[in-house]
Amino acid sequence: MCARLGDYDPPAIEAELADIQAEIDDIAFDLYGFSDADRAAALGSSGAVDEDDGVNDASEDDDGADAVDQTAGLLSWAAGVAFGRFDWRLATGEREAPPEPEPFDPLPAKSPGMLPDDAEPFHVHSGILVDDQGHPNDLARLIEEVLARVEGPVPADVRRWLQRDFFKFHLGQYSKSRRKAPIYWPLSTSSGSYTLWLYYPSLTDQTLFTAVNDFIEPKLKQVGQDVAALRTKGSARSRDDEKAFEALQALELELIELRDTLLAIAQTYRPNHDDGVQITAAPLWQLFRLKPWQKVLKDTWAKLEKGDYDWAHLAMAYWPDRVREKCETDKSLAIAHDLEHLYVEPEPKPTKARGRKKNG
């Protein structure tokens, strides 16, 4: 039976692992007849190498993972449960951890902590969650519910963390070297006052339409009603009413802008997971608020427009004539788009006849 999340104690686990390592060392030294001096030398040199390696790794490899903040890691895991990626039952003991595979067993389709395909998710959704207090798909509330379910600590500022820190943390966790592959995408209004969270594995060519129809339009209707109610108060509005009135009017304009932008993109947006996260997210670059990631996507979109990534399915969706023309002379490109019939083999170059060498 799995221990509950509250029993997770990294220092205790590390101490237990150190004790086990010491026992293994003692057994090995006894088997090979090491003297006390030999043991001291072996353990001393081993420690020195480990220490040097750590310094070298830190200086030579920029991809070394920093120590993960436990609170951020826990909140991120809870967000993954809310999206349907991770299985919370492993933390409650409702599901036992899968057995360790044997060395020559085939690799599992999913990592042990992920939700099995046939399991009911913690929260059923269409691939979109939202930062909108009171909404049934409100991500902040779902994170709190996950933590409560597993009897974990629930911070008081989950929504603030979600708005300010989550995506930056997530991007760092899902990046390695030049590969950046975040799977939770925050698409926001210009001020960040309203954010839709898209789940990349569930992304389809209908997702943006769903975002507009099921989230933005109902929100616009609600905001419009609130604006109308405050407007009818007229001169009877209090100072707080005036502030709320101005904020709601600004939100209404931003929601309209977000809706129109998504609808404009959705008309020709044909995501394909084989293209990878970065290319698939590129058409949405202006809706991400984290500047470094926005710049990466903007540059990627510029290269897509230029034709640098014409192997991508998204390039075919946006510029089919250009890609098809390239397929006529680029066999690998034609194969990538299943258009090998367009490829025209070049005429073979004539070979030069070699003359006979004259005898001097």
Q: What is the 3-state secondary structure (H, E, C) of the chain?
A: CCCCHHHCCHHHHHHHHHHHHHHHHHHHHHHCCCCHHHHHHHHHHHHHHHHHHHHHHHHHCCCCCCCCCHHHHHHHHHHHHHHCCECCHHHHCCCCCCCCCCCCCCCCCCCCCECCCCCCCCCCCCCEEEECCCCCCEHHHHHHHHHHHCCCCCCCCHHHHHHHCHHHHHHHHCEECCEECCCEEEEECCCCCCEEEEEHHHCCCCHHHHHHHHHHHHHHHHHHHHHHHHHHHHHHCCHHHHHHHHHHHHHHHHHHHHHHHHHHHHCCCCCCHHHCHHHHHHHHHHHCCCHHHHHHHHHHHHHHHHCCCCCCHHHHHHCHHHHHHHHCCCHHHHHHCCCHHHCCCCCCCCCCCCCCCCCC
Q: Is residue 308 part of a domain?
A: no
Query: Is the confidence at residue 206, as pLDDT, over 90?
Result: yes
Q: Is residue 195 part of a domain?
A: yes
CA 154 to chain centre: 23
Task: Among 154, 178, 203, give the residue marking a domain's end.
Answer: 203
The answer on 77 and 173 residing in a single domain is yes
Cα 153 to Cα 70, 95, 149, 156, 355: the distances in Å are 11, 21, 10, 10, 87
Pairwise pLDDT comparison (70 vs 266), residue with the higher score = 266
The answer on 75 and 179 residing in a single domain is yes
Backbone φ and ψ for 260, nearest 5 degrees, come out as: -65, -35
Q: Is residue 22 part of a domain?
A: no
The answer on 228 and 182 residing in a single domain is no
The answer on 264 and 236 residing in a single domain is yes
Q: Is residue 288 part of a domain?
A: no
The answer on 259 and 192 residing in a single domain is no
The predicted pLDDT at position 5 comes to: 55
Q: Is residue 330 part of a domain?
A: yes
User: pLDDT tens digits, residue range 152-196?
Assistant: 999 999 999 999 999 999 999 999 888 899 999 999 999 999 999
The answer on 77 and 158 residing in a single domain is yes
User: pLDDT tens digits, residue range 302-346?
Assistant: 999 999 999 999 999 999 999 999 999 999 999 999 999 999 988
Alpha carbon distance 349, 157 (integer Å): 70
The predicted pLDDT at position 58 comes to: 33
Q: Is residue 111 classed exposed, middle or buried when 0-12, 13-18 and 19+ CB atoms within 10 A define those classes? A: exposed
Q: Is residue 359 classed exposed, middle or buried when 0-12, 13-18 and 19+ CB atoms within 10 A define those classes? A: exposed
The answer on 196 and 233 residing in a single domain is no
Maximum Cα interatomic distance, the chain, rounded to a whole number of Å: 115
**Does residue 266 contact residue 210 with C-beta atoms inside 8 Å?**
no
Query: Is the confidence at residue 43, as pLDDT, over 90?
Result: no
Q: Is residue 349 part of a domain?
A: no
The predicted pLDDT at position 348 comes to: 82
Per the prediction, the chain carries an average pLDDT of 87
The answer on 199 and 76 residing in a single domain is yes
Confidence of residue 301 (pLDDT cuts 50, 70, 90): very high
Task: Among 146, 173, 203, give the residue marking a domain's end.
Answer: 203
The answer on 220 and 199 residing in a single domain is no
The predicted pLDDT at position 15 comes to: 76
**Cβ atoms within 10 Å of 206's Cβ, excluding its own:** 13
Task: Among 203, 229, 246, give the residue marking a domain's end.
Answer: 203
Which range among 8-12, 20-24, 219-223 shows the weakest confidence by mean pLDDT? 8-12
The predicted pLDDT at position 234 comes to: 85
The answer on 158 and 83 residing in a single domain is yes
Q: Is residue 13 part of a domain?
A: no
The angle at the Cα of 69, spanning 170 to 11, to the nearest 5 degrees, equals 140
**Cβ atoms within 10 Å of 292's Cβ, excluding its own:** 11
Q: Over pLDDT 70: what percentage of the chain?
A: 85
Q: Is residue 276 part of a domain?
A: no
* Domain boundaries, position 249: 216-269
CA 314 to chain centre: 19
Pairwise pLDDT comparison (64 vs 312), residue with the higher score = 312
Number of separate domains in the chain: 3
β-partners of residue 188 are: 195
The answer on 148 and 261 residing in a single domain is no
Pairwise pLDDT comparison (109 vs 60), residue with the higher score = 109
Which range among 36-50, 69-83, 326-340 shows the weakest confidence by mean pLDDT? 36-50
The answer on 180 and 80 residing in a single domain is yes
Counting every residue, how long is the chain?
Answer: 360
The token duo for 210 is: 């769903």
Of 127, 39, 46, the C-alpha closest to 82 is 127
